[in-house]
Amino acid sequence: MITGKKNIVIFTMFMFLCSGFSAAYADLTDVDQIVNRTNRIAYYQSTDGKAKVNMIIYDSQGRTRERRLTILRWDQPDPDGKAGDNYCGAQKIYAFFDRPADVNKTVFLVWKNMDRDDDRWMYLPALDLVKRISSTDKRTSFVGSHFFYEDVSGRNINDDTHELIKTTKDYYMLKNTPKNPNLVEFAYYEMWIHKVSFVVVKTDYYDKENKKYRTYEALAVDNIQGFPTVTKSKMTDLRTNGYTILEYSDVKYTISVSEDIFTERYLRKPPRTYLR
């Protein structure tokens, strides 16, 4: 249930930010349709893309650390050439860090697979080491932030069962429960999805004691090249009151990123043309 002054402010602000999108829609009742469209908006808009990301990490005492990175994305083409709402194929993600100095030239590489666990690697330039991130580590901190590795690359929708528990004037509310609870730290998570744009506005994670311990919020959304795009987001650890803010700039879609750069060779030799 959406309650509290804070939630009212967040949801009202989000409606204002999304006012540029068409309001013509009919309520969906098929939860799979909602999940597929939401997943596509979150991770599969256009065929590829790029964004500059500024990350600010706040601890419980308000102290900050900052990271700056560029994210590149390539999607496997739809074999039917349609790329409709239900098509979310294999995908590759390249994240290059340039600030601060201690993480400069660090690279995070993901190959998202449809039929098995995703492949993830981290290149650590100080050691000249390519470290493979195991599937058991995907629910751990991404470079010291409150976002997890899986938050950055996306959780496979087939890993959870999905239930539409509420529909309001502007939102679908979904409850998502892991099919294998032994592989994750949460018991379930609830998502509020904007009915026009299918952007995830808020996600609350609950532990085995049914206590909310982690929250994601979309703080700003822009229409970029016709795509609803989250340009500012926040992840909060409710146990420590620490949080991380991500701000996206220079967002571009359909830039013809080459699949070749998503390989070990380019972990050590960054593709400068795409990173400018």
Across the range 156-182, mean pLDDT stands at 96
Tens digits of per-residue pLDDT, 184-206?
Answer: 999 999 999 999 999 999 999 99
Tens digits of per-residue pLDDT, 92-149?
Answer: 999 999 999 999 999 999 999 888 889 999 999 999 999 999 988 999 999 999 999 9
Residues spanned by the domain of 86: 5-275
Q: Is the pLDDT of residue 231 over 60?
A: yes
Predicted local distance difference test score (pLDDT) of residue 268: 95
Secondary structure (H, E, C), the chain = CCCCHHHHHHHHHHHHHCCCCCCCCCCCCCHHHHHHHHHHHHHCCCCEEEEEEEEEEECCCCCEEEEEEEEEEEECCCCCCCCCCCCCCCEEEEEEEEECHHHCCCEEEEEECCCCCCEEEEEECCCCEEEEECHHHCCCECCCCCCEHHHHHCCCHHHEEEEEEEECCCEEEEEEEECCHHHCCCCEEEEEEECCCCCEEEEEEECCCCCEEEEEEEEEEEEECCEEEEEEEEEEECCCCEEEEEEEEEEEECCCCCHHHCCCHHHHCCCHHHHC
Place of tokens 């400018």: 276
Q: Is the pLDDT of residue 209 over 60?
A: yes
- Domain containing 210 — which CATH number? 2.50.20.10
pLDDT band at 77 (very low <50, low <70, confident <90, very high): confident
Tens digits of per-residue pLDDT, 10-55?
Answer: 454 454 455 455 444 678 989 999 999 999 999 999 999 999 999 9
Q: Is the pLDDT of residue 9 over 90?
A: no
Across the range 69-87, mean pLDDT stands at 78
Of 55-69, 71-85, 153-167, 193-207, give the lowest mean pLDDT range: 71-85
pTM for this one? 0.89
Q: What total of structural domains would you count in the chain?
A: 1
